[in-house]
Amino acid sequence: MEKVKLNVLLAMTDHLASVFKKGLEDYVKFFKTSQGAFKGERKTYEPRQGAIDLPNERLNKLVVTTVEEKLRYLEDVSKDYIDALFSQEKTNASGIAFATLTVDDIIFGQFTSMELLRLKSLLEGGTFKEVYENIPVRNDDENWIKSENETYEGRTIWESAKRVGVNKSIIKESYILSDPNIDKAEGGRYIPQIASKDTIVELGDYTYQRFSGEESHTVRAAILNRRSKLLTAVIAALKTANDVESIASEMTSQKLFNYLHRGI
């Protein structure tokens, strides 16, 4: 982050704080109420020659967005606030000793107690945690594979197995049962017996496939687990951290979201 005077940094942080909070609340609402935006479906249908077309058997509902795209946008819009937040705390913590923050052999750097308190507050924030708890996930009872459909080229989309089949119908045909033991001409009172025959006809070929921009339960659980481990490490580091004069914080938005979203 570009160096600025402390008073400017404080003003930036105060302004961006409300924007960041509102953005997180919007994400929670979107993840809870707009899960259809992460789902797609495709149905095709071609009637056989002479058969009636069934337009309702065709559908192409595209995946509007993916969890990966939403989280990447969260990173972009949160960068200025998070970078300013920790730079402010580092500047305010002049003369305080550092503590090294390490999680799973990943060294984030050295941070003052003020930075660690801010990070602890951020990770413990109910709305921040709620964003990840409400990440839309795919059904575990279906086999999903990475989609190579050209419609979603360059995006992380998953697809279900394609169902292929034939639409069929039944034609009912009535006919008279003949009885060789009865002379139809005698007396004119003969009532023929009517029978019905069902014939199955093929009307057309169809396919059905589902698409998803959701994450797996495993990925969501891993993100929540990493958040928990990072919070534990911050609490431990706070016990040994002392204030020291510094300007730029090593805790950046990129480091935070790289770990939470990608484990790196």
Mean pLDDT of 7-16: 77
CB atoms within 10 A of CB 264: 7
pLDDT at 246: 37
Residues 6+ away with beta carbon under 8 Å from 166: 202, 203, 204, 205, 206
Tokens 């302004």, residue located: 15
How many whole angstroms separate alpha carbon 30 and alpha carbon 50?
A: 47
Percent of the chain with pLDDT over 70: 86
Tokens 């003003």, residue located: 11
How many whole angstroms separate alpha carbon 103 and alpha carbon 98?
A: 16
Maximal CA-CA distance, the chain: 123
pLDDT at 181: 63
pLDDT at 93: 62
Q: Read off the pLDDT band of 184 (50, 70, 90).
A: low
Mean pLDDT of the chain: 85
Integer CA distances (angstroms), 38 to 99, 125, 159, in order: 41, 26, 12
The two three-digit tokens of residue 113, written as one number: 């107690």
Give the residue ranges of DSSP H helices in 59-177: 67-92, 113-124, 126-133
pLDDT at 71: 93
**Does residue 243 carry a pLDDT above 60?**
no
Q: Read off the pLDDT band of 194 (50, 70, 90).
A: confident
Residues 6+ away with beta carbon under 8 Å from 81: 13, 16, 17, 19, 20, 253
Helix (H) / strand (E) element for 149: namely none
